[in-house]
Structure 1
Amino acid sequence: MDIPTHFSRRRVLGAAAFLPFAAKAQDNYPSKPIRMIIPFAAGGATDVLGRDLGQAMAPALGQSFVVENMGGGAGVPALNNVSRAAPDGYTVLFCASGNITAQPLLSKNRIDILSQVTPVGMIASAAHVLVVSDKAPFKSLPELIAYAKAHPGEVNFGSAGVGGLAHLGTELLARSAGIKVTHIPYKGASAANNDLVAGQIHAIFGTMPSFMAMIEKGALHAVGITAASNSRPLKGLPLISKTVPGFSYSSWNAIFAPARTPAGAIDKLYIAMRTAAQNPGLKHRFDEQGVDVALAGPDELQKMVLKERAVWEKVIRDARIEAN
């Protein structure tokens, strides 16, 4: 950032004099509860993971997390709230990867999200599973691809909304496999899953827990996972990349803080996250949600964001996806 020419020597000296006090404040961090904003409604998968993580991190920090759910608006209200908060370590965002790597690309006033928030660390990763309706005329991924090539545009993929990872994953699969499919957006995963069971749509991407009951009943069939390699909770399902070389993506969950949050606060938050990752109870709860405990520090997480953003930007551009 360029220092304005009217920035006086007195103000510079004043700022310098303040630095020891700022450092001392960070030595005492955290001295009060931390506000955790989650860009989804209460009770959803990300909300459950965030609350579990907050409880597991609290002992190491000596402070609790106060969760605020800010669902809707494709996560933009939550992102705006965090980016405008004081960069003091007392407001953080717990989000899914799409909130950072994809949804900002759909905004009419696009911004570089990493200029607004700074990575703290990743805690969880989950492959998506591709499921098809029992009423669909195919029961495996090779059969789906063959059918789609013989019937261009007739295979309907549902999703919880335009621009979500399930939608982007659909478009990535179509381009990687050389097929043409039709995307049907819904206002939420529940409605999409109901139509999938009824056979109104043929297939959908999502996390395993949301499909498990219907898979056990035989109403849905899991035909592959999106991971680059087998992940523990979904081990045994075929990798989509075995049929469609090069295809893979995963959803992850991480904490971000407002840009310019002091390094001391970021370090303490990540150390607490790293400690929480060793908690057997947290590992068990994450396993119940179909996700792996997966750690990545601030620098590694930033590289992941930049890499995945490039992938989704191309998908969005090629598929001409626009936000509603």
Structure 2
Amino acid sequence: MLRLALALLAGLLPGASALAQAELPARGITIIVPYAAGGVTDTLARLMAERLTPRLGVNVLAENRSGAGGLIAAQAVARARPDGATLLMHSSAILVVAANTPDLRFDPITELAPVGFVAGLPAVLVVNPAVPARSMPELLGWLRANPGRVNCGILGEGSTDHQACKAIERTAGTTMEFPVYRGLPPLNIDLLAGLIQMNFGSASIQMPLVREGRLRALAVGTAQRLAELPELPTLLESGVPYDGLAVNALFAPAGTPAPLLARLNAEVAGIMAEPAMRERIAGMGALPGPPDAASLAATFRRDWDRARAAAQR
């Protein structure tokens, strides 16, 4: 009777239900990584797992589950029990794959709930040094003078680099070719050899080649200039209607209780505010994102709409 009375009293207290819903799963949390070990997304997932464990008081582990361009992992998380035990380390590339999958069996927007923005990976427009353009206006003029003769290497139809290069093509009012590569390493072999002339690729990979004088950087794809590369204008400044980051963020299954999502978001934001973590992120050539889940949801929706629009062209 005493236990029953206490239970009834607890039910009457303000916030009692919310506190119960915010309880963390005792069995711990698994962050599903959609790619093989060793990449940026995998590294970020393991950093988050390491730092979330003491903050939450439960074991947090990262598990690689690659395949189908990240869709296997995304669908697994979407179908998991919405109790906070299973999270996804999302990559923007998953949305591109999803938008180009005719028989897609889940809706990323309605079946995944944003937890927290971990890092954005800025991209930079680079050209082979033989290209006679040292600024975006010069590049646009050169493209107009060479319709159909310039190759911009990309990592997939509808990918973020493809979207950026198409925006440049439309701004110049010309045509380009878009050879597809399986990754930046093989793409850079052809770019350095002059077999292709341009690429819009990860700043963390392309800028070391720029500093060595093997490539030339002309612009960045972020909404504002990068503090690390203040001399480079944005594509927007250059009249090219494109801005964006390759986003890595944590998501949970839709239906996860709001108090639990809020607790996880607060812990992720706290981790991303740590000077040591921000330094580690910067060392990877990445940028910390806005801490609130609402901003992440808006970015997620924008990236999904862009990917679908690109897939329909």
Q: TM-score range by the shorter chain?
A: 0.7 to 0.9
Q: 2:98 aligns with which of 91, 104, 109?
A: 104
Distance (whole Å) between structure 1 residues aligned to residue 52 and residue 276 of structure 2:
12
Q: 1:41 aligns with which of 33, 36, 54?
A: 36
SS where residue 162 of structure 1 aligns? coil
Give how far 1:204 is off. 0.8
SS where residue 124 of structure 1 aligns? strand
> Does 2:143 match 1:143?
no
**Judging changes above 3 Å, is the alpha-carbon distance between structure 1 residues 37 and 223 closer, same or farther for their aligned structure 2 residues?**
same
SS where residue 211 of structure 1 aligns? helix
Q: 2:75 aligns with which of 73, 76, 80?
A: 80
Q: 1:119 aligns with which of 114, 122, 133?
A: 114
Q: Percent identity?
A: 30
Stretches of structure 2 lacking an aligned partner (at least 5 in a row): 1-15
1:165 counterpart residue number: 160
Q: Which amino acid aligns with 1:229?
A: Q
The number of residues matched between the two structures is 298
SS where residue 185 of structure 1 aligns? coil
TM-score (norm 2): 0.86
> Does 2:91 match 1:91?
no
Q: 2:299 aligns with which of 297, 304, 309?
A: 304
Q: 2:179 aligns with which of 174, 184, 205?
A: 184
Q: Which amino acid aligns with 2:99?
A: L
Distance (whole Å) between structure 1 residues aligned to residue 170 and residue 107 of structure 2:
26
TM-score (norm 1): 0.84
RMSD: 2.4
- Mapping of residues 1-324 of structure 1, within 5 Å: 26-100=21-95, 102-110=96-104, 111-318=106-313
Give how far 1:66 is off. 1.4
**Judging changes above 3 Å, is the alpha-carbon distance between structure 1 residues 245 and 212 closer, same or farther for their aligned structure 2 residues?**
closer
Distance (whole Å) between structure 1 residues aligned to residue 72 and residue 21 of structure 2:
28
SS where residue 73 of structure 2 aligns? helix
Distance (whole Å) between structure 2 residues aligned to residue 54 and residue 178 of structure 1:
47
SS where residue 263 of structure 2 aligns? helix
Q: Which amino acid aligns with 1:219?
A: R
Distance (whole Å) between structure 2 residues aligned to residue 208 and residue 29 of structure 1:
37
Distance (whole Å) between structure 2 residues aligned to residue 94 and residue 54 of structure 1:
10
**Judging changes above 3 Å, is the alpha-carbon distance between structure 1 residues 56 and 123 closer, same or farther for their aligned structure 2 residues?**
same
Give how far 1:41 is off. 2.1
SS where residue 234 of structure 1 aligns? coil
Stretches of structure 1 lacking an aligned partner (at least 5 in a row): 1-20, 319-324
SS where residue 240 of structure 1 aligns? coil
Q: Which amino acid aligns with 1:165?
A: T
